[in-house]
Structure 1
Amino acid sequence: MSTSTPPPAADSADPASILDHGVEHEQVVFAQDPASGLRAIIAIHSTALGPALGGTRFYPYATTADAVRDVLALSRGMTYKAAVAGLDLGGGKAVIIGDPTALKGEALLRAYGRFVESLGGRYVTACDVGTFSEDMDLIGRESSHVTGRTVANGGAGDSSVLTAYGVFRGLQASAEHLWGDTDPADVLAGRRVGVAGVGKVGRHLVGHLLEAGAEVIVTDVSERAVARVRDEHPSVRVVASTAELVAAPLDVYAPCALGGALTADVIEVLQARIVCGAANNQLAHPGVDKLVDEAGLVYAPDFVVNAGGLIQVADQLVGFDFERARARAATIYETTRTVLERAASDAVPTAVAADRMAEQRIREVGRLRGIWLG
């Protein structure tokens, strides 16, 4: 296992050249374990507020370059997510390259655990796309810097539960901001919400929306995920694709799959007035935030509303209490309102307002932390 130089790239792109665009990161390390098939990257964006906490994504990236780009963007988002959520944590993320259904096993996960442990606590890992609490249990046999383990092993369990709850609270705040209803319990009643991606988080979000009286339309590339949601909630309507969903007459669009959901083309056809979902890095490229603003959309920045899962696994670090974590995740409602109000008062896109809030806390608290620890 190596944490000093990248493994040979399996594609023509040079990961080192991609890192030129990630100079704000504190550390980016690569690992491989030929015996188990492990190829992984951990990106530590910032430890200004505390250890970098972020999930491990297990995904069959087409190229190493794609994996590097993703881990750089995701780790940066975790820094901002933790800062806005008021947590004493920095931002990091990891990716394991490959198909989890073919490669995942005890040997690989334990090799990855040794990799995490080699960073000495600068990075704390948890679940993400392609990894689950049971995987954290195995990783935890080699490293103490793991959270999101199963409840049976003293962990916080599935973090998608509070991720979905936080998104729902952010959606309530966005709806109240736009439509002016004063009772969050009723603000979504009768509204049509389109959920793209009904995996771990999206499925839970659908349940919250239906309980709130919303009409829900879903789509997912996984037939199994769609079937599970329909079995649980027969009233849900299913459409064939995200393209069909975004063009439908919606009040709210909730992207809950992978990133890059908001492109210029999507914004042009989107009929929804609110965009609020669980997916990370929803803005496809710089400048999309301005297009969102010009289109009159109320965009709840993803790292603000999807912080519930981070709150859940962070709580495990101090002895997990679900009700305490849920109460903290509920404050995403107030945080979202603050972001929307600040964006309006400063005449900037909501993404800019949220970034400013995060950066202010990183500067102020990070500076004081540096004085005390220095």
Structure 2
Amino acid sequence: MSVLDHNEYNNHEHVAFFNDKYSGLQAIIAVHNTNLGPALGGCRMWSYANSEEALTDVLRLSKGMTYKAAMANVALGGGKSVILGDPRAAKTPAMMEAMGKFVDTFKGRYYTAEDSGISVEDLQHMEKHSNYIAGIHSKYHISEEKSDGNPSPATALGVFVGVKAAVAYQYNTDLRGVKVAIQGLGSVGIRLARHLKNAGAELFVADVYKPNVTVAAEELGAVIVDPQDILTLDVDVIAPCALGATINPTSLPNIKAKVIAGAANNQLANEGIGTECRNRGILYAPDYVINAGGIIDIYHQKIESSDRGLKSHIENIGQTLTDIFKGSDEQDLATNIVANKIAEERFLKK
């Protein structure tokens, strides 16, 4: 099947495939739209079942980055890259250097950064061969962590702000005593858990990687749940923070929470699921709005090169979501449809 015929193609500007025999790198870069500025999107390494699955993922993710940048009010477009392979077993420095060469072929139309399976150290190897690697050198940070370029603290803060806004809108309360089920405890999920714990929330957590849930249980007193059951718990909020499409026709009927607000990209299996959420009385925080803290951080660090208003820019995610929630009720439309309309008005008008 041609890429042009793929059901997720959606008028992408550029899709490129790369195979490096020396390092074993197999990768795809997709640039969706650059009307507002150069495309920015992290590099993900994952054990995809096949190249078709990888292509679907990169196309969906790059489109989502276009919408994310537009809603975050940054002068960037949307792109994404994926590497096929197990990041814990197959990744090598040579492979990361080859990825840097691949990124450099776009000559500044695409910037990459950290995503699932990729570390700051990996980005440093990429940077040896490209000036278009973001999220490595930070001049400032929003937390007490080491300022190493990792955007995860900013992403986690934005999601936390978004969860607060969603809970306030749906339940008219703060987070004290609110039960939150977190699906996925990677670099963003565990930081979100800490924010929620500090705000008084009760935590229920699941991750396929057992050391992650052990940390959450021992450090935060979280209840460990089987990954297959995490979305079905009788809680107030579910926070998808792993891979996408977990909110789907199979899982949705079993969801008891009345708020879905998490860090994962492409949480809805399809756009129609957003309408189903609304019909069931579930308030969905559009993923590319609530998880925009990372792109905001990288924009301030790499593109704009200014620390002015970084934290307030991230905290504004809460107000943006509240406006979407109000628009959803006023227009009787799903929150994801309302967000899409706003984003498209911004990036398609150029």
> What is the TM-score when the length of structure 2 is the normalising length?
0.94
Distance in 1, matches of 2:170 and 2:35, equals: 35
Q: Which residue of structure 1 lines up, in the alignment, with residue 90 of structure 2?
A: 103
1:226 is aligned, of 210, 213, 223, to: 213
Cα distance in structure 2, aligned partners of 1:232 and 1:37: 39
Instruction: Measure, in 1, the Cα distance between the counterparts of 2:196 and 2:247.
Output: 22
Q: What is the CA distance between 1:101 and its match in structure 2?
A: 2.0
Deviation digits for residues 187-242 of structure 1, max 9, x if unmatched?
11111000010111110000011111110100111101112222322x2111122x
CA contact 1:44–1:93 (8 Å) conserved in 2: yes
Q: Deviation of residue 32 (structure 1)?
A: 0.8
The DSSP-based 3-state class of the residue aligned with 1:77 is helix
Residue 150 of structure 1, CA deviation: 4.9
Change (3 A) 1:79 1:122: same
Which of 320, 345, 350 matches 1:360? 345
Q: Which residue of 2 aligns with 1:274?
A: 259
Give 1:19 deviation, angstroms. 3.5
Q: Tell me which residue corresponds to 2:129.
A: 142
| 2-structure distance, mates of 1:266, 1:20 | 23
One of 69, 92, 106 as aligned partner of 1:119: 106
Aligned residue in 2 for 1:202? 189
* Paired position in structure 1 for 2:281: 296
User: How far does the alpha carbon of each residue in 1:254-288 deviate from its partner, in whole angstroms, 9 at most, with x for none?
Assistant: 00000011012222111111000000000012421
1:160-188 C-alpha deviation (Å, 9 max, x unpaired)? 1111110111111111111224xxxxx11
Query: 1:236, 1:34 → 2: CA distance?
Result: 45
Deviation at 1:156, TM superposition (A): 5.4
Could you tell me which residue of structure 2 aligns to residue 193 of structure 1?
180
Gaps of 5+ in 1: 1-13, 182-186, 368-374
TM norm structure 1: 0.88
In terms of Rg, which structure is larger?
Answer: 1
Q: CA distance change for structure 1 residues 122 and 318 in 2, over 3 Å: closer, same or farther?
A: closer
Equivalent residue number for residue 39 of structure 1: 26
| Partner of residue 173 from structure 1, selected from 165, 175, 194 | 165
Partner letter of residue 140 of structure 1?
E
Look up the SS of the partner of 1:190 in the other structure.
coil
State the partner residue of 2:156: 164
1:73 to 60, 83, 86: 60
The Cα of 1:320 is off from its aligned counterpart by: 5.5
CA shift, 1:71, in A, is 0.2
CA RMSD of aligned residues (A): 1.9
* SS of aligned partner of 1:264: coil
Q: CA deviation at 1:135?
A: 1.1
Residues 3 and 9, structure 2, Cα contact 8 Å, conserved in 1: no
1:158 maps to amino acid: N
Q: Deviations over 1:75-100 (max 9, x none)?
A: 00000000000010000000011112
Match of 2:223 among 237, 256, 267: 237
Residue 325 of structure 1 and its aligned partner are, at CA, apart by 2.4
What is the match of residue 310 of structure 2? 325
1:212 to 196, 199, 207: 199
Q: Give the CA deviation at 1:21.
A: 4.3
2:37 alignment partner in structure 1: 50
Q: SS of the counterpart of 1:317?
A: helix
Which residue of the partner structure matches residue 87 of structure 1? 74
Separation (CA, whole Å) in 2 of partners of 1:231 and 1:350: 36
Q: What SS does the corresponding residue of 1:265 show, helix, strand or coil? A: coil
> 2:70 & 2:63 partners in 1: Cα distance?
11
State the Cα distance separating 1:56 from its structure 2 match: 0.2
User: Within 2, Cα distance between the matches of 1:210 and 1:192?
Assistant: 10
Distance 1:64 1:287, change over 3 A: same
Which structure: greater helix fraction? 1
